[in-house]
Every structure is written in structure tokens, then in C-alpha cells.
């Protein structure tokens, strides 16, 4: 079941909303939380029923570890329990995320003399694993009390943020589940929630999904990258689709949670309007970056032990990001490139070098585009060939022809690549110059303009009617 499906929007969500608040109306607070847990498991299991047992096993393991860490035991033993807990989480993540990748390498080297089965990675395993690692670390630091098992399970599996975040910390959400003032329907939150759901749905259905066919066509036909104009259109389309897809999910997650009077942290802040790569990472997937900062970067020493140590710490977290990002050496390379660029930014700041903001934004955006080959290619050779085309090496163009709303690249028929030029240009304008959903939500809440609400309803209906084929969200596979 996808957020961008009619089943979810018009059956699952309304039913869960009504039953949850009916139970709270009769002061069945514990039952309402159990119902929300069961609904979340149903939501997760709708993709594949076996996933529920993986999620449940992970929850039981981590809750047990947290309970031991919160008990009165010696500090040395507590450290070993924490190491065991983190190792167990990483083993689960590595097994599902990298088993097939590593097994294929060993098979190619004749270390494993037989083909291995393909391991299907459970949706969102990176997100709920990271969330639980942060929880047991907080237990080790004595920053947490013993929550009961119901609160803990709901904290991990609350369906709006279960699969792709935002990644939340215990103190941000568990107290909200126990706040009696949040147990009745809040009209303002309904307006706010529906606004965020609509914005997220527009991002996903109208923008992200409209670019999928063109991106998939080019990804499967690498010969098209001998053409300079196709290469640039492709790479820009990739970063637009990635942003609208992931931020669209997070907007919908935040909006759905607000319907239940639960506030999740924001995850995006106009990342493509950043003036540097450092600023980009302060604006993109902010809750993941927060995890890397508080649980890895600062414990390593952060910026307190000199510039050399700062650079080592920075490269360490971006290496980990690259490993998290995918089971392909190119993804790790992508993480390292970003680490190098952030280190260069730090040197730049040390010498107080400034350039006009418009120019710095343009340089940052172009840099992000030039890193797309390392995100999308499967082999280094393909990535460097795409880079060569972006830089105009062996420069060649292909004729294009506008047909209605589409721009057609005149390749050999019947496989002419086409892209919706209106979506492409509008998407560029929105990410580079327009207010983000956070800012728009605040403006909408302050306004009492009836026209805005009518526009919102029209947008929601148009987006819902545009759901002809549900594409899963990109970050479901993380």
C-alpha cells in the first residue's frame, strides 16, 4: 500500500483516523495505541507479509537491549551490551542490504562456487534500524527512561514515518502519544495535515512520477548519453525526480501524522537553493544528517580537535553515508566526493573567501548535477562516459522537436525519448526559486482565505485523479 494510492487515501487512512479517535473519545487510550500499532503492521505487511516478522524481531531485540541498558549494571558491562546491540542492528542491515552484492563478488572471484539466492530487502530497513540504534545509544547515555513496550513499538512502527522517515528521536514523539490533549480531533491540524498531504501528493504524482519514464528509458539505453543535450536533461531530471519523490513522501508523512495530532520533524529546506555543498547537506534529509552528526561526528570529536581531525571526521561520516546510500562502489564514491567538497568548503570558510550569492548558488546546483552519474550509473565506466558528455567532450547534439507538452529527442523510432517540458521547467523553477512546503504551510495556516482552500481541494482532486499507475517511492529501497 502506497501513500500515493487510492486505497490508502480513501480507505485505509480515513478508517484508521476514525477508529483511533473513536477509541480516544471513550478514553480507551491504551486500546487506541494498540490499534495504531496493528494498523501500522498491516500497512507495512501490505507490501510483503514476511516483512512484519523482520520488523517485529528487530523491535523485540532492541527493546530488550534498551531494557538491559536502563537497568542497574556495571558501566563496563553496559558498554559491551551497547556494542552487542549496535552490532546486531548492523548485521541485520548488512545482511539484507549487502548480502547479494557481496555474494556476487565472492562468486565472481570463485570464492563461492555457486550462485546465491537474491535476498529481498525489507522496505525502510535503514530507517527503522537507524532509529533504534539512536534509541539504544540514548539509553546507554542515560538520556532516556524505560518506556513501556507499547510506547516503544508505536515509536518505531508509527506508519507515516516507518518506511522512509523522517527519522525521529524518542523525546520528539513518545511524549506526544501520551499527551491527553492530543486525543481529540483538532480542526486546525486537519487543515494543516490535508495541506501537507496535498503538497506531497502533487510533488509525487504530478512531478516525480512524470519524470520516471524518461529517466528509466535513458538509464536502460546508455547510448543516448553520447548526446550533450540528452545528458543534461537526464541529470537534471534525476535530481528533480529524487527531490520531489523523497520530499513528497516526507510532506505526506508529516501531514498524515498531524491528522493524529503528532508532529514529526521537517526533513527538507529548499536544498537546491543552497549556496554551498555544506549548506546543501544542512537542508537535505535533515533528520539523517542529524543522526550522523550527533551519534558519529560529535563522538569522533567533531571540529574540536584541529582541522586534520575535522577533515577525517567529515570524511568518515560521508563514507558511512555512501555505504548507507547503496550497495554499489559508485554510491560509496559519491559519499566520498561529497565529503571532499565539504572539507573544501571548510577551508574556503577558514580563509573568509566570499563570492556573490547568486554565483555560489549556481555553482552548487551545477555541482549537484555533475554528481548524478555516480548516483545512477552501475559501473565507473558508464559514470565517466556520462560525465564526459556533460562536460561536452566529444560534443554532439541531437535534434529535438516540441510536440504538445512534450519535448521529443529525435532518436531512432519507435523509441524516441520524450519528456514533459512543462513539468521539467516548472520543477526547475519550484526547486530553485519558490518557497518550500514548510514555508507554504505556515502561510496557509496564518491565512483564512477561502480561495486558498478551494485551490487546495482542486489540487488534491487533480492529483488523486492522476494516480493511474502507482510508482513506489525511491527511498523505500533504503
Considering the domain boundaries, does residue 442 fall inside one?
Answer: yes
| Residues 176, 287 within the same domain | no
Tens of pLDDT, residue by residue over 406-460, are 988 888 766 778 899 999 999 999 999 999 888 888 888 777 667 777 888 888 8
* Euclidean distance between CA atoms 109 and 245, whole angstroms: 37
* Euclidean distance between CA atoms 389 and 385, whole angstroms: 6
| Residues 180, 200 within the same domain | no
187 burial level (CB within 10 Å; 0-12, 13-18, 19+): exposed
52 burial level (CB within 10 Å; 0-12, 13-18, 19+): middle
Considering the domain boundaries, does residue 272 fall inside one?
Answer: yes
* Euclidean distance between CA atoms 79 and 342, whole angstroms: 32
Q: What are phi and psi of 459, to 5 degrees?
A: -60, -45
Cell of 302: 567533531
* Euclidean distance between CA atoms 217 and 415, whole angstroms: 9
- Give the chain's end-to-end CA distance (angstroms, integer): 17
| Residues 393, 406 within the same domain | yes
Last residue of a domain, one of 184, 218, 253: 184
The owner of cell 482542486 is 458
| Residues 221, 155 within the same domain | no
Full 3-state SS string of 273-313: HCCCHHHHHHHCCHHHHHHHHHHHHCCCCCCCCHHHHHHHH
The owner of cell 501528493 is 201
| Residues 63, 80 within the same domain | yes
User: What radius of gyration, in Å, describes the C-alpha atoms of the chain?
Assistant: 23
pLDDT at 280: 96
Tens of pLDDT, residue by residue over 313-334, are 999 999 999 888 877 889 999 9
| Residues 211, 350 within the same domain | yes
| Residues 160, 258 within the same domain | no
pLDDT at 286: 94
Considering the domain boundaries, does residue 159 fall inside one?
Answer: yes
Tens of pLDDT, residue by residue over 121-171, are 778 888 999 999 999 999 999 888 778 999 999 999 999 999 887 999 999
| Residues 341, 277 within the same domain | yes
Tens of pLDDT, residue by residue over 366-412, are 999 999 999 988 889 999 999 999 998 877 888 888 888 898 888 87
Tens of pLDDT, residue by residue over 2-40, are 888 889 999 999 999 999 999 999 999 999 999 999 999
pLDDT at 176: 95
Considering the domain boundaries, does residue 1 fall inside one?
Answer: no
Tens of pLDDT, residue by residue over 69-102, are 988 888 889 999 999 999 999 998 888 877 766 6
Question: At what angle are helices 329-350 and 306-325 packed, to 10 degrees?
Answer: 150
pLDDT at 414: 62
| Residues 360, 230 within the same domain | yes
Q: 352 falls in which pLDDT band (50, 70, 90)? A: confident
Last residue of a domain, one of 165, 184, 203: 184
* Residue range(s) defining the domain that contains residue 209: 189-477
Share of the chain above pLDDT 90, in %: 59
* CA dihedral of 155, 161, 162, 164, whole degrees rounded to 10: -140
Considering the domain boundaries, does residue 140 fall inside one?
Answer: yes
DSSP letter assigned to residue 159: T
Position 117 pLDDT exceeds 60 = no
Average pLDDT over residues 253-282: 95
Position 104 pLDDT exceeds 90 = no
Looking at every residue in the chain, the average pLDDT score rounds to: 88
| Residues 248, 141 within the same domain | no
Beta bridge partners of 193: none
Q: 478 falls in which pLDDT band (50, 70, 90)? A: low
Last residue of a domain, one of 184, 217, 243: 184
Cell of 476: 523505500
Considering the domain boundaries, does residue 57 fall inside one?
Answer: yes
CB burial readout 114-151, b (16+ within 10 A) else e: eeeeeeebbbbbbbbbbbbbbbbbbbbeeebeebeeeb
Considering the domain boundaries, does residue 242 fall inside one?
Answer: yes
| Residues 66, 123 within the same domain | yes
| Residues 176, 229 within the same domain | no
Considering the domain boundaries, does residue 30 fall inside one?
Answer: yes
Cell of 182: 492530543
pLDDT at 270: 94
CA distance to 161, 165, 331, 333, 379, per residue, from 373 (Å)? 29, 26, 10, 11, 10
Number of domains in the chain: 2
Tens of pLDDT, residue by residue over 160-199, are 999 887 999 999 999 999 999 999 999 889 989 999 999 9
The residues, ordered by sequence, that sit 6+ positions from 25 with a Cβ below 8 Å of its Cβ are 184
Q: 220 falls in which pLDDT band (50, 70, 90)? A: confident
Pairing of strands 400-403, 406-409: antiparallel
Tell me the whole-structure pTM to 2 decimals: 0.92
Position 468 pLDDT exceeds 80 = no
Amino acid at each position: 500500500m502506497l501513500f500515493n494510492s487510492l486505497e490508502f487515501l480513501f480507505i485505509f487512512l480515513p478508517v484508521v483516523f476514525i477508529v483511533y479517535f473513536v477509541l480516544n473519545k471513550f478514553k480507551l487510550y491504551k486500546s487506541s495505541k494498540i490499534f495504531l500499532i496493528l494498523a501500522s503492521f498491516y500497512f507495512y505487511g501490505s507490501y510483503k507479509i514476511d516483512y512484519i516478522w523482520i520488523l517485529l524481531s528487530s523491535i523485540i531485540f532492541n527493546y530488550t537491549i534498551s531494557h538491559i541498558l536502563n537497568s542497574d549494571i556495571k558501566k563496563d558491562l553496559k558498554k559491551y551490551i551497547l556494542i552487542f546491540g549496535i552490532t546486531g542492528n548492523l548485521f541485520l542491515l548488512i545482511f539484507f542490504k549487502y548480502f547479494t552484492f557481496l555474494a556476487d563478488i565472492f562468486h565472481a572471484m570463485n570464492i563461492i562456487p555457486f550462485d546465491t539466492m537474491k535476498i529481498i530487502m525489507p522496505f525502510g530497513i535503514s530507517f527503522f534500524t537507524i532509529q533504534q540504534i539512536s534509541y539504544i545509544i540514548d539509553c546507554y547515555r542515560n538520556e532516556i527512561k524505560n518506556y513501556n513496550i507499547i510506547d516503544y513499538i508505536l515509536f518505531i512502527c508509527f506508519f507515516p514515518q516507518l518506511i522512509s522517515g523522517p527519522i525521529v528521536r524518542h523525546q520528539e514523539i513518545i511524549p506526544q502519544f501520551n499527551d491527553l490533549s492530543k486525543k481529540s480531533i483538532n480542526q486546525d491540524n486537519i487543515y494543516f495535515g490535508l495541506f501537507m498531504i496535498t503538497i506531497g501528493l502533487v510533488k509525487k504524482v504530478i512531478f516525480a512520477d512524470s519524470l520516471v519514464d524518461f529517466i528509466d528509458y535513458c538509464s536502460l539505453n546508455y547510448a543516448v548519453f553520447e548526446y550533450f543535450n540528452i545528458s543534461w536533461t537526464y541529470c537534471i531530471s534525476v535530481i528533480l525526480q529524487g527531490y520531489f519523490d523523497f520530499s513528497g513522501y516526507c510532506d505526506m508523512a508529516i501531514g498524515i501524522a498531524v491528522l493524529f495530532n503528532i508532529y514529526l520533524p521537517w526533513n527538507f529546506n529548499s536544498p537546491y537553493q543552497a549556496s554551498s555543498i555544506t549548506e546543501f547537506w544542512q537542508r537535505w534529509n535533515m533528520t539523517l544528517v542529524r543522526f550522523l552528526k550527533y551519534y558519529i561526528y560529535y563522538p569522533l570529536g567533531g571540529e574540536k580537535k584541529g582541522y586534520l581531525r575535522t577533515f577525517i571526521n567529515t570524511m568518515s561520516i560521508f563514507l558511512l553515508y555512501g555505504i548507507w546510500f547503496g550497495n554499489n562502489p559508485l554510491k560509496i564514491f559519491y559519499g566520498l566526493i561529497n565529503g571532499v567538497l565539504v572539507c573544501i568548503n571548510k577551508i574556503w570558510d577558514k580563509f573568509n573567501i566570499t563570492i556573490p550569492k547568486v554565483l555560489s548558488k549556481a555553482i552548487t546546483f551545477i555541482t549537484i548535477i555533475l554528481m548524478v552519474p555516480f548516483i545512477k550509473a552501475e559501473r565507473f565506466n558508464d559514470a565517466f562516459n556520462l560525465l564526459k558528455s556533460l562536460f561536452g567532450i566529444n560534443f554532439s547534439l541531437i535534434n529535438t522537436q516540441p510536440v504538445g507538452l512534450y519535448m521529443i529527442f529525435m532518436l531512432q523510432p519507435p523509441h524516441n525519448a520524450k519528456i514533459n517540458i512543462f513539468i521539467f521547467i516548472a520543477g526547475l523553477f519550484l526547486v530553485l526559486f519558490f518557497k518550500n512546503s514548510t514555508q507554504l504551510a505556515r502561510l496557509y495556516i496564518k491565512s483564512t482565505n477561502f480561495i486558498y482552500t478551494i485551490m487546495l481541494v482542486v489540487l488534491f482532486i487533480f492529483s488523486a485523479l492522476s494516480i493511474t499507475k502507482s510508482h513506489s517511492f525511491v527511498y523505500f529501497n533504503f
